[in-house]
Amino acid sequence: MRVVVLAALVGLAPSLGCSAASSPMARAQEAAQDFNMNTRYGRNELAVEKVAPSARDDFAAHHRTWGSKIRIAEIELQGLHPKGDHDAEVLVRVEWYRPEEEELHTTTLRQDWRDANGWELVKEQRIDGDAGLLGEAVVYQAPPDPKPPAQFPTVHLEGTPN
């Protein structure tokens, strides 16, 4: 009898797991995780499959420098907030740097996702942190000139008698 009950429970386990993973928000979270991991590792050809056709030009423009002028150190999903049954907002923290600067930047993005025959990214924007990750213009300011030395300059007198 124990064998039959155990076999029945083992047979039920996969179906229990599938029902939880098939909720709309679970599918949204999975799509966002896949998308962000693909962008993290430079697999834009896979990531663009999760971008709504109307947003693909913006995605290409915003991610053009990723992997060349901008390197992604880490991407972390901070949260998923449902906005009805077919819309969700995902917050993503990105740590990145420019190879010539060697300074780590942190930017928080808000991604808007919509379920239209599968979850798709419809909009992405910076909401906090350092600018420049999504191709924003960044103005660099040169550091101020250092203070002059605290001593008086040497004065040379011309024509002094010997």
Query: pLDDT of 57-79, one tens digit each?
Result: 999 999 999 989 999 999 999 99
Closest CA to 96 of 56, 129, 58: 129
Ordered by start, the domain boundaries in the chain are 22-129
What is the pTM (predicted TM-score) of this model?
0.72
Q: Which residue has the tokens 């924003």?
A: 136
Residue type at position 72: I
Query: Which pLDDT score, from 0 to 100, does residue 162 have?
Result: 55
For 2-35, the pLDDT digits (tens) are: 444 434 444 444 444 544 457 899 999 999 999 9
Distance CA 126, CA 134 (A): 8
Region label for 110, one of left (φ > 0), alpha (ψ between -120 and 50) or beta (otherwise):
beta
Tallying the residues shown for the chain, one arrives at 162
Distance CA 96, CA 112 (A): 21
Distance CA 98, CA 69 (A): 6
Q: Which two tokens stand for residue 58?
A: 């913006």
Closest CA to 36 of 131, 127, 119: 119
Query: Which pLDDT score, from 0 to 100, does residue 121 have?
Result: 98
Write the CATH number of the domain with boundaries 22-129: 3.10.450.50
